[in-house]
Chains A and B, each alone.
Chain A
Amino acid sequence: NAGVMQNPRHLVRRRGQEARLRCSPMKGHSHVYWYRQLPEEGLKFMVYLQKENIIDESGMPKERFSAEFPKEGPSILRIQQVVRGDSAAYFCASSPPRLGASEQYFGPGTRLTVT
């Protein structure tokens, strides 16, 4: 049973370009969470999605950031017109339909560097 997969693991973008980060949840999981981690800081919640539905996006910046979790395929976190301050590690986690706090599994993260 493969774990949560994220790709790419490392992404370099120039200022103004778009960044697309993908997260494939564990098999059977229909809930996905995205987090951002700045260097030497803890994870900050961004968004919580179920298939085709955004449940909680209270942690998402209002502009340039969007997330989706389509019926088929991975969840995508999209950052438009990236700026240097977007450089961070982005983690996703998935959990099964029956929510349980101990059942959240994390991916290895995508490290975004904006030059």
Chain B
Amino acid sequence: SQQGEEDPQALSIQEGENATMNCSYKTSINNLQWYRQNSGRGLVHLILIRSNEREKHSGRLRVTLDTSKKSSSLLITASRAADTASYFCATDANNDMRFGAGTRLTVKP
């Protein structure tokens, strides 16, 4: 079953722009993870942020976590056409992992 809810469901931007996706959840968590999925492929793990962390960077990715609001955001800077994919958040709470429905990102060249 799903817990995280991504927002927006779909996002279309021009190459070079930044893309921000949000994830909200309901219960307390140990960590939150972001994944990417290209059409027809499995999920690829992007980044994990623990509940005691507020921000994490990896290359062009920046993830924030606000446990008081039970929300996280994924920012992709200087987007490229190759970033076109769906992005999922997943919450890990006491070894119970739940996924959101995903944000479909389209980056136009």
Q: Are B45 and A42 neighbours in the complex by a CB distance under 8 Å?
A: yes
CB-defined interface of B31-64 with A at 8 Å, one 1/0 digit per residue?
1010101111111111010000000000000000
Number of contact residues on A: which range applies?
20 to 34
CA A80 – CA B51 in complex, angstroms? 36
**Bound-complex Cα distance A91 to B99 (A):** 12
**Residue in contact with B42 in the complex, picked from A3, A41, A56, A111, CB distance below 8 Å:** A56
Instruction: Chain B residues near A93: list those with CB within 8 A.
Output: 43
Chain B residue nearest to A106 (CB atoms) is B99
**CA A19 – CA B51 in complex, angstroms?**
33
Tell whether, in the assembled complex, residue A42 and residue B101 are in contact, meaning their CB atoms are under 8 Å apart: no
Cβ of B1 < 8 Å from any Cβ of A?
yes
Q: Which listed residue (B40, B46, B48, B97) contacts A99, Cβ 8 A?
A: B40
Classify chain B's interface size: 20 to 34
Is B43 touching A102 in the complex (CB atoms < 8 A)?
no
**A40 CB within 8 Å of chain B:** yes
Known: A41-B48, A42-B33, A42-B45. A91 touches B39 (CB 8 A): no
Q: Which of A43, A99, A100, A105 contacts B45 (CB 8 A)?
A: A43
Bound together, the chains give a CA A33 to CA B97 distance in angstroms of 16
Pairs A–B under 8 Å by Cβ, sample size 20: A33-B43, A35-B43, A40-B31, A41-B48, A42-B33, A42-B48, A43-B33, A45-B42, A45-B44, A46-B42, A56-B41, A89-B95, A101-B37, A101-B86, A101-B104, A102-B9, A102-B86, A102-B101, A105-B2, A108-B96
Q: Mark A residues whose CB is within 8 Å of B.
A: 3, 33, 35, 37, 40-46, 48, 56, 59, 89, 91, 93, 99-102, 104-106, 108-109, 111
